[in-house]
Amino acid sequence: GKFAGIAFWLVLMARAIFPALLAPNGQDKNLLALLTSSVVCIGLFYGTGLFYGERTHISVMEYWRWWVVHLWVEGFFEVFATTALAFIFSTLGLVSYRMATAASLASASLFMLGGVPGTFHHLYFSGTTTPVMAVGASFSALEVVPLVVLGHEAWEHWSLQHKATWMKNLKWPLMCFVAVAFWNMLGAGVFG
């Protein structure tokens, strides 16, 4: 029924992630744990939007829709995108594992600190004061910083592509990932 899609998402991700988490290879698994938690949170987060039905009052539905859409955009997406790209970049050797983990932890920390205040810049239509909207705009703009730093680091390493032949084969996927960081910074950080 309603929860089949979320259950499928979680099972699909679990099949890929849990064997890597449980492997006794002695490697630091903080980045993988962050990726796992962000994937699980996405499924659980969208699950809350399924608790209303066709007979639920529209004010309740709109309340949950607003929170699902805005907390996804303001927080979960940033954590997931930063962690997923950090994992890919560190696996490809474009950034150090330490840098990838630090960027992911910074993104998660910014979300935990400013996820809800980051939505305050949307409250202009309800007569919110300018200082409250400024707090919201500041937190919202800060949420893209870890992904931009990670993208910049990957771009610098990619510019050394002539030293590794495998990087030439991955030119367009890597350019896509770097473009994600750039357009995220421009769209969410600059234009809000």
**pTM more than 0.85:** no
DSSP result, 111-174: HHHHTTGGGGGGGGGGT--HHHHHHHHHHHHHTTHHHHHHHHHHHHHHTTGGG-HHHHHTHHHH
Note the Cα 164 to chain centre separation in Å. 29
The percent of residues above 70 in pLDDT, for the chain, comes to 86
CA distance 92 to 174: 10
Confidence label for 2 from pLDDT (cuts 50, 70 and 90)? low
71-119 pLDDT, tens per residue?
Answer: 676 667 778 888 888 888 888 777 888 888 888 888 888 777 777 777 7
**Regarding the domain with residue range 1-189, which homologous superfamily does it belong to in the CATH classification?**
Cytochrome c oxidase-like, subunit I domain (1.20.210.10)
